[in-house]
Amino acid sequence: METADKKCRIAILASGEGSNAEALVAHFLNHPTIEVALMVCNKEKAGVYARMAKYGVPCHTIGKAEWQPGSTGEQVLDLMHREGIGLIVLAGFLAYIPEAIVKTYEGRIVNIHPSLLPNYGGKGMWGHHVHEAVIAAHETVSGITIHHVTEKLDAGSIIFQAQCKVLPDDTPDSLAARIHQLEHEHYPCVVEQMAMTFA
């Protein structure tokens, strides 16, 4: 069918609870030119599976051997090619993306990070570790960064940022909740704008 051929097919990569993955899937339900085709998780058990099941999104588990420096990324790339994936969207994906995948999908692989990069990014800075560090440094502002994925962790060009307050009585959990809200509000829209250019 002509319309189906024109759709930009998205693959989500996730490792954890999957609230961003769910926000993306919900946003693209019945979208005329963009669809979430599948989700890949690097763990056998994660909250994201149940969230995807609610929408009937096909899930794939690809274990840690694939996500190592020097890996050919063959299993992932085969899957992406077979499924006609035009855009890879990381949503709380915590494993290393091999160079072969980054190169093949250059400009078409995007990540969300729960801080205002370049602050609080890089090795060890993920999820609650970010919020703990932000609070420990007495920051009054934090936020989210959506950026292209390159070989260097959290260092690809920035596509979008949004800020929120850090309140004096914030805990890592309360800050994480505010950040998640910001992520769910903006990530699907930013991904949609990107995907429109590939549809």
Assess whether 81 carries a catalytic annotation.
no
Q: Is 18 in the site for ligand GAR (CB under 6 A)?
A: yes
Alpha helices in the chain (DSSP H): 2-6, 19-28, 47-53, 74-82, 99-104, 127-136, 172-196
Instruction: Report residue 59: phi and psi, to 5°.
Output: -115, 140
Tell me how far apart the alpha carbons of residues 186 and 27 are, in angstroms, rounded to a whole number: 11
Stretch that binds ligand GAR, among 25-33, 37-45, 61-69, 112-120 (CB under 6 A): 112-120
CA 74 to chain centre: 20
Q: Is 183 in the site for ligand GAR (CB under 6 A)?
A: yes
Give the per-residue contact string, 122-151, with ligand GAR (x = CB under 6 A; - = no).
Answer: ----xx--x---------------------
Reply yes or no: is the peptide bond before residue 118 cis, omega within 30 of 0. Answer: yes
Give the per-residue contact string, 88-107, with ligand GAR (x = CB under 6 A; - = no).
Answer: ---xx---------------
Closer to ligand GAR by CB, 77 or 133: give it: 133
**Closest separation between CB of residue 4 and ligand GAR, Å?**
28
Please, what's the b/e burial string for 18-31 (b: 16 or more CB within 10 A of its CB; e: otherwise)?
Answer: bbbbbbbbebbeeb
Site residues (CB under 6 A) for ligand GAR? 14, 16-20, 91-92, 112-114, 126-127, 130, 179-180, 183
